Amino acid sequence: MRADRLLSLLSLLQARGRMTSKQLAEELEISERTVHRDMEALAAAGIPVYAERGAAGGWQLSEGYRNRITGMTIGEIRSLLLLHSSSVVADLGLNEPSGTALRKLLSALPEPVRRDAEYVRERIHIDGAGWRSAPSRSAHLQTVQEAVWEQRKLRICYRGREADESTERTVLPLGLVAKTSVWYMVAMEDSAEEDPFRTFRLSRLHDADMLEETFVRPEDFDLATHWERSMERFKSNLPRYPAKVRVALARWEAFAGERYVKTVSCEEVQESEAIEAVVEFNTLESARDIVMKYGRDAEALAPEELRAAVRTECAAAAALYAE
């Protein structure tokens, strides 16, 4: 809290030039005594702040001094430090410039704020790659990234999720999106008649060549907004397989958190320490596999088609281990 307050003091003095202890105290909702203590702390940290006495006096910064991180709070600084630790930075080959920027940021901080920032950096690291090596990372990420930066067309060889063969096409790369350890390219296709926007998973790129020809990026295109809308469309178009299940109370949280399980309604069954719920899976096969994953702790109550599929699979597994 104090580090945030010190940054706020600097911001106020830079914006208004000169302020009295009373004005600062009212602005930050602290006492004048606290203002004096904070000013002493800033001075001790090397910030050229001083007080002028008299009717027109007050606290001010030496002429020409500018805080290079005006208005940044500790929360904002922490978010930048955490972004630096993300594996996304490494994927894009930005480790070295990111590290340089971090060192510049830390050197610009007053001592009390620097201590807080170092505390965060030493204790939190973000790694979105998961435990397994990420096969989804593409050897063509750097090529696509460069084409995005320079607004140059790409000729790609791409294999769709269902297609057995790859197709060659020319696209206009608009941006890159990292979802955990999976990279996607959002691009436009000149040949598309209606919606020209396409999303390509980089791990399915067999080849990518950057062309000399450039393109003009649509002025009204916003990558984050487009991605959110496309995700909403994707989720709404997923198949739905409604079912009723009974899950042990101790396993319900894990079951309900399954990626392809949507809870419609649920209630606790006191006498059996279980949850009975109406849920939506994607497909019959997905429903069968998820229910079986929880063994004796999950039972499909309906539809009968799902119960039969679980019985058949259980019988096949039992026969496999019978001998």
Residue 111 pLDDT class (50, 70, 90 cuts): low
pLDDT over 90 (residue 186): yes
Between CA 263 and CA 243 the distance in angstroms is 10
164 or 305: whose pLDDT is higher? 305
pLDDT exceeds cutoff 70 at 269: yes
User: What pLDDT score was predicted for residue 60?
Assistant: 87
Residue 90 structure tokens = 């490494």
Nearest to 203 by CA among 223, 185, 188, 228: 185
Of the ranges 18-22, 99-103, 105-109, 245-249, the best mean pLDDT one: 245-249
Q: Is 21 helix (H, G, I), strand (E, B) or coil?
A: helix
Contacts of 230 (CB under 8 A, 6+ apart): 186, 197, 199
pLDDT for the residue 123: 59
Report whether pLDDT(313) > 90: yes
Structure tokens at 210: 């950057």
Calculate mean pLDDT across residues 99-120: 66
Q: What is the mean pLDDT of residues 48-52?
A: 86
Task: State how far the Cα of 127 lies from the Cα of 314, in Å rounded to an integer.
Answer: 38
* Residue located via tokens 């600097």: 10
Query: Residue 97: what pLDDT?
Result: 72
When pLDDT is cut at 50, 70 and 90, the band that residue 139 belongs to is confident
Model pLDDT for residues 190-240, shown as the tens digit of each residue: 765 667 899 999 989 999 999 999 999 998 888 888 988 988 888 888 889
User: Rounded distance, CA 111 to CA 46, Å?
Assistant: 8
In this prediction, residue 131 carries a pLDDT of 52
* Interstrand relation of 167-179 and 274-281 (parallel, antiparallel or unpaired): unpaired
Closest alpha carbon to 58 in 31, 14, 22: 22
Six-digit token string for 54:
């008299």
Which position has the token pair 């009975």?
276
| Residue 274: CB atoms within 10 Å | 21
Q: What is the mean pLDDT of residues 32-50?
A: 87
pLDDT band at 241 (very low <50, low <70, confident <90, very high): very high
Which amino acid, one-letter code, is at 10? L
Q: Is residue 33 helix, strand or coil?
A: helix
Q: At residue 267, does pLDDT exceed 90?
A: yes
Highest mean pLDDT among 110-124, 160-174, 306-320: 306-320
- Residue 104 DSSP SS3: helix
What does 177-239 look like in DSSP terms, one character per residue? EEETTEEEEEEEETT-SS--EEEEEGGGEEEEEEEEEE-PPPTT--HHHHHHHHHHHHHHTS-
Supply 148's token pair. 């995005």
> Any idea how long the chain is?
323
Q: What is the mean pLDDT of residues 94-118?
A: 67
pLDDT of residue 157: 93
C-alpha closest to that of 136 among 90, 178, 94: 178
Q: How many CA atoms lie within 13 A of 231 on its CB side?
A: 9
pLDDT at residue 133 tops 60: no
For residue 303, whether the previous peptide bond is cis, meaning omega lies within 30 degrees of 0, is yes
The model's confidence at residue 84, banded by pLDDT at 50, 70 and 90, is low
pLDDT, mean over the chain: 82
Give pLDDT, residue 156. 94
Instruction: Say if residues 84 and 106 touch (Cβ distance below 8 Å).
Output: no
Is 154 a residue whose pLDDT tops 80? yes
pLDDT attached to residue 257: 93
Across the chain, the runs of DSSP E, i.e. the strands, are 18-19, 49-52, 58-61, 152-158, 167-179, 182-189, 197-201, 205-214, 241-248, 262-269, 274-281, 298-302
Q: What is the pTM of this model?
A: 0.55
Among 72, 50, 48, which Cα is nearest to 59's? 50
Query: Is residue 1 scored above 70 in pLDDT?
Result: no
